[in-house]
């Protein structure tokens, strides 16, 4: 009797492991940039519509989170809104993982203020001044008298890193500019959008996709002599808008199997149409 039961349990165990093994082949886990979560989700949904036997799961957490998951082998594709750091490649190498980079879309970073704020254009220098804390009152920029409230994403955000390197430090690797210590660190783009919508003196930044009529996107000029450019699809594609960045998918060594099929889909005409639909900018092809 007992032996019979044991056999039963054994067969069940064996059966379940084989089921898991089979499902392992058509299941991939995608993780990373919060900016790209909606995009990744949209890709996954429309991909699974055509191939219902495959299953793709997409979660956020930040670019750094996704890349460390790729390095520790807990996801198949990492979405990242910044380049992988050399330190991360080193650590990945130690664990036998070779990150492979695919540029999948572009993103314009919008700088937003409350619609009631009269300021609607800024130069890159003024932006850097605001976010490093050198300009502290809107009056200094010709606006109302009010202390500027700086909103930033947390340090686990690729957007934070990109903004620091390209706006605050103006692409100069030797620069040591930092966000003002008084900058509020919010944990999501949505939190920044909400705070800007409710606070006349706030200024924040995030991907174009989050702009609504409750915020006002500021036009940006590279320097005082060049024209002010609004963050629109056309301006990002043409490269006129100065704060735009590539969005990446990282895989372990060259993509193969389902991972490759998924990335090919993301880069296809259909995949790039989804990019436009989710308010990002397609990679020019």
Partner 1 sequence: MRKIKEFFIEKLILICGLASIFFVLLIFLFLLKEGFAVFKTVSPAKFLFGSKWYPISEPAQLGILPLILGSLLVTLGAAVISIPIGVASAIFIAEVAPAKLKEILKAGTELLAAIPSVVLGFIGMVTLVPWVKNIFHLPTGLTALSGSIMLAFMAMPTIVSIAEDALYSVPKSYKEGALALGATQWQAIWRVILPAASSGILAAVMLGLGRVIGETMAVMMITGNAAVLPHSILQPVRTLTATIAAEMGEAVVGSEHYFALFAIGIVLFIISFGINVTADIFLHRRK
Among 185, 230, 233, 283, binds partner 1 (CB under 8 A): 185
Among 18, 23, 187, 253, binds partner 1 (CB under 8 A): 187
| Greatest C-alpha distance within the chain | 89
Nearest-approach distance from CB 203 to partner 1, in angstroms? 11
Cβ distance to partner 1 smaller for residue 68 or 215: 68
Nearest-approach distance from CB 248 to partner 1, in angstroms? 16
Is residue 34 part of the contact set for partner 1 (CB under 8 A)? no
Nearest-approach distance from CB 66 to partner 1, in angstroms? 9
Cβ distance to partner 1 smaller for residue 68 or 244: 68
Among 39, 79, 135, 186, binds partner 1 (CB under 8 A): 186
Nearest-approach distance from CB 182 to partner 1, in angstroms? 5
Is residue 182 part of the contact set for partner 1 (CB under 8 A)? yes
Of the candidate spans 101-109, 184-192, 205-213, 224-232, the one that interacts with partner 1 by CB under 8 A turns out to be: 184-192
Among 45, 101, 178, 234, binds partner 1 (CB under 8 A): 178
Nearest-approach distance from CB 273 to partner 1, in angstroms? 31
Nearest-approach distance from CB 88 to partner 1, in angstroms? 6
Q: How far apart are CA 213 and CA 224, in angstroms?
A: 27
Q: Which of residues 227-256 bind partner 1 (CB under 8 A)?
A: none
Q: How far apart are CA 253 and CA 264, in angstroms?
A: 15
Cβ distance to partner 1 smaller for residue 183 or 266: 183
Q: Which two tokens stand for residue 207?
A: 């991907």
Under rule CB under 8 A, how many of the chain's residues touch partner 1? 35
Nearest-approach distance from CB 267 to partner 1, in angstroms? 27
Cβ distance to partner 1 smaller for residue 120 or 195: 195
What interhelical angle do 37-50 and 269-277 show, nearest 10?
Answer: 140
Q: Which of residues 104-163 bind partner 1 (CB under 8 A)?
A: 146-149, 154-156, 161
Q: Which two tokens stand for residue 101?
A: 């980079």
Q: How far apart are CA 256 and CA 70, in angstroms?
A: 15
Is residue 190 part of the contact set for partner 1 (CB under 8 A)? no
Tokens 């001044």 correspond to 129
List interacting residues with partner 1 (CB under 8 A).
Answer: 61-62, 64-65, 68, 71-72, 85, 87-88, 91, 146-149, 154-156, 161, 176, 178, 181-187, 191, 194-195, 198-199, 201-202
């Amino acid at each position: 009797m007992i032996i019979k039961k044991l056999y039963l349990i054994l067969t069940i165990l064996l059966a379940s492991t084989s089921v898991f093994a089979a499902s392992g082949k058509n299941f991939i886990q995608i993780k990373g940039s919060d900016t790209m979560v909606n995009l990744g989700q949209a890709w996954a949904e429309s991909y699974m519509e055509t191939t219902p036997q495959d299953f793709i799961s997409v979660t956020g957490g930040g670019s750094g989170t996704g890349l460390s998951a790729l390095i520790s082998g807990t996801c198949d594709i990492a979405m990242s809104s910044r380049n992988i750091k050399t330190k991360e490649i080193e650590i990945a190498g130690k664990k036998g993982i070779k990150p492979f980079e695919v540029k999948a879309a572009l993103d314009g970073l919008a700088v937003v203020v409350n619609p009631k704020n009269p300021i609607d254009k800024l130069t890159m220098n003024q932006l850097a001044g605001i976010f490093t804390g050198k300009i502290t009152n809107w009056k200094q920029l010709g606006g109302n008298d009010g202390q500027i409230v700086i909103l930033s994403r947390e340090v686990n955000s690729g957007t934070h890193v990109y903004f620091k390197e390209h706006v605050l430090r103006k692409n100069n690797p030797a620069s040591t500019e930092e966000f003002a210590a008084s900058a509020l660190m919010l944990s999501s783009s949505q939190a920044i959008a909400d705070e800007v919508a409710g606070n006349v003196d706030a200024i924040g930044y995030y991907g174009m996709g989050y702009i609504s009529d409750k915020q006002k996107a500021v036009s940006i000029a590279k320097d005082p002599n060049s024209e002010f450019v609004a963050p629109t699809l056309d301006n990002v594609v043409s490269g006129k808008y100065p704060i735009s960045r590539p969005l990446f998918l990282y895989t372990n060594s060259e993509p193969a199997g389902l991972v490759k099929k998924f990335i090919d889909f993301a880069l296809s005409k259909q995949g790039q149409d989804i990019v436009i639909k989710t308010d990002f900018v397609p990679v020019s092809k």
